[in-house]
Amino acid sequence: MRLLWLLATLVALTSAGIHKDSPKERYDNFRVYKLTIQNKIQLAVIEKIGELTKKYNIWKEYDERSREIDIMVSPGELNHFQELLKFNNISSELMVENVQERIDEEQVTPTADSATFGWTKYYELEEIEAWLDEILNAYPSVTEEFIVGKSYEGRTIRGIKISHKAGNPGIFIESNIHAREWITSASATWFINQLLTSEDADVRSLADNYDWHIIPVFNVDGFEYSHKKDRMWRKTRQPHATNACIGADANRNFDSYWLQNNGASSNPCSQTFAGDNPGSEPEAKALVEYLTKIQDQISVYISFHSYGQYLLSPYGHTKEEFPENYNDILTIGKAFADSIEALPYGTVYQYGSTADVLYVATGTSVDWVFNELGKKIVYTIEYRDKGRYGFILPPVQIIPNCEELMVGMLALIEKTKELGYL
Ligand code: 0X9
Ligand code: ZN
């Protein structure tokens, strides 16, 4: 028995510790299924297998409203998985037949974009930072760099402040806290560019009348890792003292209902591992300190995520209670969603509290800003799509997604102002 345990530990150690010069993780014939859950037992079974990190990877946590959960399955596990679905009477829909094919397609680069930053492909951290430097150089009178702090691996977490005049209310955007959600930093950089270059009157007024504090890539270590080693990486990169699994979910590591109500996991191998304690991840700790310092300059806080097409608001920790200004939060959410749906793409966004329209999530950055800093207007945007491509949103959809962001943001800010928050 002891020998068996030792062997199991060894296997776990060698498979989880991806060495520096190890090749990129491949996802040949990995499939993604959307499952419909009918009872607690079915959910428990799926959540349990979801923690077997080499065989499964939960792409989208269980959504109580739709009763759906998206899960990636490795080819070697497929037969077992199908038996398990049958045995537990769980219905499924195949969303992605071969994840590696999607990843390969994502990498196909139009030649026109190789010289300039153009939002027709996804860029690596180095390229995003070089672009940020160019922008800071090109617009020195209205832009300014800010530094949130250092990541576990020692990278600098950078942001850009865009301010056209003194005394503007501030809007803070945090993006790519989850490494594999590449559309978020693509959207953040596009948005920065619009604020600086657009000649549209509405966008100009957004740029002129608010101070924008934007972090295009917050989880820098994870993002780099998602490009260089594992496209499906979500968490931070800090190793765990007693477990071979690496990283925590930075969006479960904030000190607001931390690890409560099943809104996060205490298992270091889970995709929603909360960390050993609030602020155990240097990135989350740095953001808390930075936001605490500049809190007086911020009126609205927005966190960019993918996927699922939602505009989420507090609370994340319970659906039994709602914030006292929930009506306003919904009115603003409706303005956001309606304006996006009115575009020719017809994309539908759902809006409402995280715990009500999605699932219970605790220790998130936005809930911390809402509950601890007392900011009344905070949202999480979950971008395209509904699971057809999931995290691997094709580059041709970057600009359409960004167009939706802009009309949504214009409507959101306008309504927020109309209701007296700005
Ligand atoms: O689970 C999350 O952290 C977010 N979804 S994702 O699929 N991108 O991982 C949702 C976070 C919801 N936000 C709040 N609870 N405020
Ligand atoms: Zn996310």
Could you tell me the pLDDT band of residue 78, with boundaries at 50, 70 and 90? Answer: very high
Tally of domains in the chain:
2
Query: If 0-12 CB within 10 Å is exposed, 13-18 middle and 19+ buried, where does residue 393 land?
Result: buried
Hey, what's the torsion of the CAs at 89, 93, 99, 103, to 10 degrees?
-150
Q: Are residues 244 and 315 in the same domain?
A: yes
Ligand 2 centroid vs 143 CA: distance in angstroms? 27
- pLDDT for 2 equals 42
pLDDT reading at 20 higher than 90:
no
Q: Are residues 83 and 214 in the same domain?
A: no
Q: Are residues 235 and 94 in the same domain?
A: no
In a domain, 39, yes or no: yes
Q: Model pTM?
A: 0.94
Is 60 touching ligand 1 by the criterion CB < 6 Å? yes
In a domain, 87, yes or no: yes
Is 178 touching ligand 1 by the criterion CB < 6 Å? yes
For the segment 148-160, what is each residue's pLDDT rounded down to a tens digit?
999 999 999 999 9
Q: Are residues 131 and 259 in the same domain?
A: yes
pLDDT reading at 15 higher than 60:
no
- pLDDT for 5 equals 41
Render 371-417 in DSSP notation, one character per residue. Answer: HHS--SEEEEEEES-SSSSTTS--GGGHHHHHHHHHHHHHHHHHHHH
What does the pLDDT average to over 9-31?
A: 66
Q: Are residues 67 and 211 in the same domain?
A: no
For the segment 209-240, what is each residue's pLDDT rounded down to a tens digit?
999 999 999 999 999 999 999 999 999 999 99
Q: Are residues 172 and 83 in the same domain?
A: no
Q: Are residues 84 and 218 in the same domain?
A: no
For the segment 128-149, what is each residue's pLDDT rounded down to a tens digit?
999 999 999 999 999 999 999 9
For the segment 244-274, what is each residue's pLDDT rounded down to a tens digit?
999 999 999 999 999 999 999 999 999 999 9
Is 305 touching ligand 1 by the criterion CB < 6 Å? yes
Tokens matching residue 55:
């065989």
For the segment 399-415, what is each residue's pLDDT rounded down to a tens digit?
999 999 999 999 999 99
Q: Which of 382, 403, 404, 418 is catalytic?
A: 382
Could you tell me the pLDDT band of residue 17, with boundaries at 50, 70 and 90? Answer: very low
Is 271 touching ligand 1 by the criterion CB < 6 Å? no
Q: Are residues 302 and 374 in the same domain?
A: yes
For the segment 376-389, what is each residue's pLDDT rounded down to a tens digit?
999 999 999 999 99
In a domain, 9, yes or no: no
3-state secondary structure at position 35: strand
Buried b (16+ CB within 10 A) or exposed e, 97-106: eebeebbeeb
Alpha carbons 130 and 124: distance in angstroms, whole number? 10
Q: Are residues 35 and 143 in the same domain?
A: no
Query: At which of 64, 83, 100 does a domain end?
Result: 100
- The answer to whether residue 382 is catalytic is yes
Radius of gyration (C-alpha) of the chain in whole angstroms: 21
In a domain, 8, yes or no: no
Render 58-94 in DSSP notation, one character per residue. Answer: EEEEEETTTTEEEEEE-GGGHHHHHHHHHHTT-EEEE
Ligand 1 centroid vs 164 CA: distance in angstroms? 32
* Ligand 1 nearest-atom number relative to CA 367: 16
For the segment 323-356, what is each residue's pLDDT rounded down to a tens digit?
999 999 999 999 999 999 999 999 999 999 999 9
Least confident of 104-108, 191-195, 275-279: 104-108
Alpha carbons 103 and 96: distance in angstroms, whole number? 11
Is 422 touching ligand 1 by the criterion CB < 6 Å? no
Alpha carbons 393 and 330: distance in angstroms, whole number? 28
CATH code, domain carrying 52: 3.30.70.340
Alpha carbons 239 and 270: distance in angstroms, whole number? 13
Could you tell me the pLDDT band of residue 53, with boundaries at 50, 70 and 90? Answer: confident
- pLDDT for 250 equals 98
CB 256 within 8 A of CB 371: yes
Q: What length does the chain have?
A: 422
Q: Helix/strand/coil (H, E, C) string of 170-198?
A: EEEEEECCCCCCHHHHHHHHHHHHHHHHC
Ligand 1 centroid vs 1 CA: distance in angstroms? 40
Is 361 touching ligand 1 by the criterion CB < 6 Å? yes
pLDDT reading at 4 higher than 60:
no
In the chain, the largest separation of any two C-alpha atoms, in whole Å, equals 71
Q: Are residues 167 and 49 in the same domain?
A: no
Could you tell me the pLDDT band of residue 115, with boundaries at 50, 70 and 90? Answer: low
In the chain, what percentage of residues exceed pLDDT 70? 93
Which among 245, 249, 273, 270 has a CA at the least distance from the CA of 16? 245
Query: To which H or E segment does residue 161 belong?
Result: strand 156-162
Mean pLDDT (the chain, rounded): 94
Q: Are residues 157 and 36 in the same domain?
A: no
Cβ neighbours of residue 306 under 8 Å, at least 6 residues apart?
181, 182, 183, 184, 382, 383, 384, 390, 391, 393
Tokens matching residue 337:
């969603």
Residue type, 252: R
In a domain, 296, yes or no: yes
In a domain, 26, yes or no: no
- pLDDT for 50 equals 92
Alpha carbons 21 and 87: distance in angstroms, whole number? 41
* Ligand 1 nearest-atom number relative to CA 181: 8
* Ligand 1 nearest-atom number relative to CA 366: 16
In a domain, 16, yes or no: no
Q: Are residues 35 and 137 in the same domain?
A: no
Q: Which residue has the higher pLDDT, 227 or 108?
A: 227
Ligand 1 centroid vs 167 CA: distance in angstroms? 32
CATH code, domain carrying 394: 3.40.630.10
Could you tell me the pLDDT band of residue 22, with boundaries at 50, 70 and 90? Answer: confident
User: Which domain does 35 fall in, by range?
Assistant: 31-100
- pLDDT for 279 equals 98
In a domain, 113, yes or no: no
What does the pLDDT average to over 96-122?
A: 85
Alpha carbons 296 and 158: distance in angstroms, whole number? 20
pLDDT reading at 88 higher than 50:
yes
Tokens matching residue 255:
């000190």
Cβ neighbours of residue 7 under 8 Å, at least 6 residues apart?
none
Query: At which of 100, 116, 133 does a domain end?
Result: 100
